[in-house]
Structure 1
Amino acid sequence: MQHPDLSGDYHPEPAILALAPWLASPVEAADFPETRIRFRNDRAAASLGLAGLGDAEWAAHFGRFQPLPGNLPQPLALKYHGHQFRVYNPEIGDGRGFLFAQVRDGRGRLMDLGTKGSGTTPYSRAGDGRLTLKGAVREILATEMLEALGVNTSKTFSVIETGENLWRNDEPSPTRSAVLVRLSHSHIRIGTFQRLLAIEDAEAMASLVDYCLTQFPGPPPPADAPAREEPAVRLMHNVVERMADLAASYMVAGFVHGVLNTDNMNVTGESFDYGPWRWLPEWEPGFTAAYFDHAGLYAFGRQPEALHWNCGQLAVALRLLADSAPLIAALERFGPLYMEAVSRRWCWRLGVEPQGLEADTQLVAACEQAMREARAQPDVFFFAHRGGRGDPQGEFGAALANYRAAPDTHPYWQDERPQSLLIEEVEAIWDAIDRDDDWGPLHAKVEALRRMGAAHGTPPAAAGHAALA
């Protein structure tokens, strides 16, 4: 029976149930003292036929986790392993989240609704399974900014304040609590495959590969790729293409994720699970986001290396199904694909028409040098020179002179300054909420970021994103 507040565009499809016996554990959501809606992403909800839910029903489904009609009868905490700062950890899994529902969107794509802060699971270890309200606010901001800058990211679907006091070592405590729902194409991680390798379950691995190829299709491997018809090899090529594009999108956005462990790597190439992220205050490859990243493993300039390394771990896992040589051949495509993606995305953000890989690569290098020399904040730099504006000097000016500007008609480009998301503004938005329960600055920032996204338009996606973007 159709829910009275759901439109005919709501199409549930809990496809994950076919894998659930070995992929997940049924769990119960925490019973929170209260459920106060703080953010509902009606733009994203409309794509799933869920925008018509009233606030009471929204809170019931995304704060109390009453099942959506025709969907998962019970939340599923997913099982996975992972390399955390290059150290293998078999003792992880969904420790404060679960998969709540799967829905076909208006374009027929399977979408996941997953949680963060929804309570303890068998994989919580010593954690309390909760999320701070500040952490939820930061994830809203990160996902909205990334989406506006063309990064393939999960979307923050819902944030509900839950009325508990939490204690954290890295925040003033006690602090307010929340439960977040994110929307993404998948929650299948590289670490999901690593677990199946560890327990040597080839049958489950083959089923998982088939699920990914069916639900998240990509283009076929190159015509000369060895063993290109083998499912595991096809998946490896798809993931390499998506990860190369994701790494490039981080660099062009000036974004530092902070924790690029294999359990944080979605095989769809979507960025997700935002913790100690930062945007660059200036162009500095050594800039780190996580205070605990003492070796700079996930520094800004090392993010492509990190994603390439993680793809290598997927190749190791897929050895359970395929020979090494074709998997290595797929992995070796990462570097060239990354360079193509950087050039493609850089020209898009700069507002100029690409001139070919060699020229575009020279333009990127000239831009980077100009930013380093001027100690420029990347958002300001791109905004100033968008569409050939500004007064570029030296090698950058010479390189840019060869480019034709794409037309910019959106009024955003006439603003006095660009949108950015440096840590000082993030803290100011949180302080307004924490001190005065003033949500106005957050909602205003979301609207400003969406306006910026409309001005940028759709980024030029890699072929591997065609079915997912």
Structure 2
Amino acid sequence: MPYKPQAEPAKSPYRPDVRITQLGEKIGDPVQAAVFPMHELRFRNDRWDQSVGLSDLTEDEWINHFGRFDPLPDNLDPPLALRYHGHQFRNYNPDIGDGRGFLFAQMRDHENRLMDLATKGSGTTPWSRSGDGKLTLKGGVREILATEMLEALGVETSKTFSLIETGEKLYRGDEPSPTRSAVMTRLSHSHIRYGTFQRIAAERNTDLMHALVDYCLENFYGGAKTDNPATELFQYVASRAARLAASYMTAGFVHGVLNTDNINITGESFDYGPWRFTPYWEPGFTAAYFDREGLYCFARQPEALHWNLAQLASALTLICESDQLVATLDSFPRSYGEAFTEHMCWRLGVESEGFDKDKPLVIAAEKALGLKTVTIDRFFFDWGQDVIPEGAEYTSDEFKVFRQEMEKRKQVRGSEHDYWQSGAPCSMHIEEVETIWDAIAKDDDWQPLTRKINAIRNMGHALRSLKP
């Protein structure tokens, strides 16, 4: 089946469905949000608020729910800071959990999926350690830009749902301080991480592990269909992880911190700290200044997700045999390759003909991109429509081979959309991120952010549109 990104969200009624409490009190700890001195609404997701029935909230009601965290009707009260462990840069850490956020609400969306609303920057929890539990406004702005761009580029991602400035001065070692504060809410299909399973395995809690596997299958994968639910769940999760890794690569995205506590069970990217988009096809490009060994560099992201899957498999051996888990792990490279070719064809606007038939095109594309004569965004902008480009940057022998492969393919994306007429791709490199933030920091000017969001969404609309 040809790859297609998620469609635009549709309007749906508010349908609370609090399922997390079925897992009992050991899944998380009841907490209260911090009390903030100010509540200035800076971003409201006017596409995804309708998908969960919250588009009719007034601004005051919105702030009450997503700034003061008054419970939504028939929903979690109080919210839960979830418990988990995790490998952080491959070092196991049993002392983590939701340290500056919590699960605030659960409800159904327009596709009847169970959705979680979770926070970032909402104050301390039992898992905060020495942190203040707060979020910088810049961090919130950066997450808006990351999630909007990734969604447009066909990456399964959490959605930045709300950002409210909170009027505090925060001190951080990695950016100029004091800096402005905010509280953010994100929407995703699941708040359950690989690290959730790791904690339960470390505690040898077989009953809770069985319950969590059943919870994930029932709510995210249509229920168990075999008599071995743990291995069934692992197969689903591995397939989603392969697609996530592939979409990162075709988007030119580097997450920066692919720890097991930052990967969720539905294969959605989330929790954006030191992310970057690499301008060129640069295998060693890193996003985090502290990733000195390049563990999570651009080209190693599929490896990182594969390694994380192995840790999830290890946790699941608490309740199942390892043979089938190992077989799924061994199939990951093939699953990733298939997903990568599908995503590459989608970005190029051509029909995928299957992994083996697509390989010559994909290999040619990677070799041509590896010359670094053109940015990733420019490459897909020029080649992703039904007009073969003739620019001087495309005259190398590698691009001649790529051109020959493209000429064999049927284009499924037209060039009529106004995005393709703009003359330049929509990009998201660090220089523009800093420029957008500077306008906010220096002049409280939010227009550059608004314009960028509109441009990103217009690109997403163009990429979703297929030629009849």
1:442 matched to 2:449:
yes
Deviations 1:398-425 (A, max 9, x none): 2212111113132211111010000000
Hey, what's the Cα distance between the residues in 2 that align with 1:286 and 1:129? 32
Q: How does 1:89-104 map to 2 (within 5 A)?
A: 89-104=93-108
Counterpart for residue 456 of structure 1: 463
Q: 1:98 to 1:330 in 2, by over 3 A?
A: same
Query: What's the TM-score, normalizing by structure 2?
Result: 0.93
Q: Give the distance between the partners of 1:107 and 1:247, measured in 2 at CA.
A: 24
Match of 1:425 among 425, 429, 432: 432
Aligned twin of 2:147: 143
- Paired position in structure 1 for 2:389: 390
Q: Which amino acid aligns with 2:63?
A: A
Note closer, same or farther for the CA distance 1:217–1:458 as it changes in structure 2 (3 Å cut): farther
Q: CA deviation at 1:376?
A: 2.0
1:358 shift after superposition: 2.2
CA separation of 1:194 and 1:8: change in aligned 2, threshold 3 A:
closer
Deviations 1:244-288 (A, max 9, x none): 000000000000000000000100000000000000111101000
Choose which of 12, 27, 32 in structure 1 pairs with 2:31.
27
8 Å CA contact retained: 1:218, 1:238: no
Q: Distance in 1 between matches of 2:201 and 2:94?
A: 11
CA distance in 2 between partners of 1:77 and 1:220 (Å): 27
Is the 1:255–1:279 Cα contact (8 Å) retained in structure 2? Answer: yes
Counterpart CA distance in 2 for 1:350 and 1:324 is 39
- The match for 2:8 is none
Aligned to 2:193: 189
CA RMSD, 1 decimal: 1.5
Q: CA deviation at 1:8?
A: 7.8
Name the SS of the counterpart of 2:289 in structure 1: coil
5+ long unaligned stretches in structure 2: 1-10
Deviation readout 1:401-450 (Å, 9 max, x if unpaired): 21111131322111110100000000000000000000001011111101
Give, in whole Å, the separation in 1 of the partners of 2:365 and 2:61: 50
Per the alignment, residue 47 of structure 2 pairs with: 43
Supply the distance in 1 between the matched residues of 2:261 and 2:413 (Cα, whole angstroms).
Answer: 41
* 1:439/1:104 CA distance change after superposition, 3 Å: same
SS in 2 for 1:162: strand
Which secondary structure state, in structure 1, belongs to the residue aligned with residue 315 of structure 2? helix
Look up the equivalent residue of 1:10 and give its one-letter code: Y
How is 1:191-230 mapped onto 2 (pairs within 5 angstroms)?
Answer: 191-217=195-221, 229-230=227-228
Q: How does 1:314-353 map to 2 (within 5 A)?
A: 314-353=312-351
The 5 A counterparts of 1:44-443 are: 44-217=48-221, 229-387=227-385, 389-391=388-390, 392=394, 393-408=399-414, 409-443=416-450
Do 2:217 and 2:224's aligned partners in 1 also have CA atoms closer than 8 Å? no
Aligned length, in residue pairs: 447
Do 1:77 and 1:99's aligned partners in 2 also have CA atoms closer than 8 Å?
yes
Decide whether the 8 Å contact of 2:156 with 2:267 is kept in 1.
yes
Residues 114 and 331 (structure 1), Cα distance of their counterparts in 2 relative to 1, 3 Å cut = same
Amino acid at match of 1:436: D
Query: Contact 1:98–1:114 (CA<8 Å) still a contact in 2?
Result: yes
CA distance in 1, matches of 2:223, 2:346: 23
In structure 2, the CA distance between the partners of 1:355 and 1:135, relative to structure 1 (3 Å rule), is: same
TM-superposed deviation, 1:109: 0.8
The offset of 1:220, in angstroms, is 8.0
Q: Distance in 1 between matches of 2:109 and 2:321?
A: 36
Q: Which amino acid aligns with 2:85?
A: H
